[in-house]
Amino acid sequence: MTDATADRPAAAAPRPARSQWWDVWRQFKTHRGALVGAAIFLVIVAGVVVGPWLWTYSPGFIDIRARNQGPSLMHPLGTDQLGRDMLARTMAGGKVSVAVGVTAMLLSISLGTAIGVLAGYFRRLDNPLMRVTDLFLALPLLPLLLVMVTLFRESLSGRFGPEAGTFILIVGAIGATSWMQAARIVRSAVLAVKEQEFVLAAHSIGTRRRRIIFRHILPNVLSPIMVSATLGIASAIITESALSFLGLGFPPDFPTWGRLLYDAVDYLQQYPERVLWPGLAISLTVLSVNYVGDGLRDAMDPRIRGR
């Protein structure tokens, strides 16, 4: 989606070298933290996607005689209490954590964008939708998430299998409870855009509303959406790890970063290094994503750009 809209203004502009997205990229490049963050995030994503092909050790393989080992050539990050390879488990866990983060972000951002655009564009829907948003903001989210996960885990696991069921549940629960900020931001951006002349012009030549929204409004409110999408990945990863850390996330034999941390806490006294890898992975991912979000926000703010 991003690429398609990124190309279109470039082709339409008289001087393709200075399109809006080129400017954004130029400003983004000057934010050193954001560049480093983007690089680290890409490395982590590549590591968890490509890594299992290079390091073919199975994350579920139990070698009870090699349990609780320190780092060695056989096991670069050591093994856990059942002799499972920690490097393979960290990569497998990262795949789930990143997948949950990205999917939950996509869900919450689509929900937030839909509600924000509807509330901003149709005046009749504005008041009820924003009241609903306020109500959701007043909900105690973490307690409700915990309750949702415990109550619906078994029935969903029964229907879709333990892994897919928990994935659907956690992604759905996080997505359903984190769209409010995006909705508010998108609504205010839509309110500003819809009063401008080009929307009036489109309206006056008889463009239908749906086309105005998709063709004229959405591309113009894309930058706040992208910023909150980036920050949404970070918060979704943290929420998933927190649920797993409290023992209410994925099933025990199914590694995620939060789950690995939760399992390692039991052996904190004897093998303190084991909490380090999943914890570092979560922290680095979230930190780099937050930096990218920070850089994007600066880059897309026309008041700062060109400085």
Residue ranges in contact with other proteins by CB under 8 A: 33, 134-135, 137-144, 146-148, 150-152, 154-155, 234, 238, 241-242, 245-246, 248, 258, 261, 265, 268-269, 272, 275-276, 279, 282-283, 286-287, 290-291, 294
User: In what helix (H) or strand (E) does residue 206 lie, and over which residues does it extend?
Assistant: none
Q: How far is the CB of 199 from other proteins (least distance, A)?
A: 31
CB of 107 to other proteins, least distance (A): 19
Chain-centre distance of CA 266, in angstroms? 29
Cβ-based neighbour number of residue 157 at 10 Å: 17
Closer residue to other proteins, CB minimum distance, 82 or 287: 287
> At 165, which amino acid appears?
G
Residue closer to other proteins (CB basis): 33 or 219: 33
Nearest Cα to Cα of residue 254 among 141, 63, 99, 27: 99
Whether 187 and 194 have beta carbons less than 8 Å apart is answered as: no
DSSP-derived secondary structure letter, 215 = I
Report, in Å, the least distance between residue 250 CB and other proteins. 16
* Angle at the Cα of 194 from the Cα atoms of 26 and 113, rounded to 5 degrees: 70
Smallest gap from residue 15 Cβ to other proteins (A): 32
- Centre a 10 Å sphere on the Cβ of residue 7 and count the other Cβ atoms it contains: 12
Q: Quote the least distance from Cβ 121 to other proteins, whole Å.
A: 26
Instruction: Name which of 217 and 282 has its Cβ closer to other proteins.
Output: 282
Q: Please, which residue, 176 or 202, has the CB nearer to other proteins?
A: 176
Q: Which residue has the tokens 């924003």?
A: 130
**Residue 60 or residue 272: which is nearer to other proteins going by CB?**
272
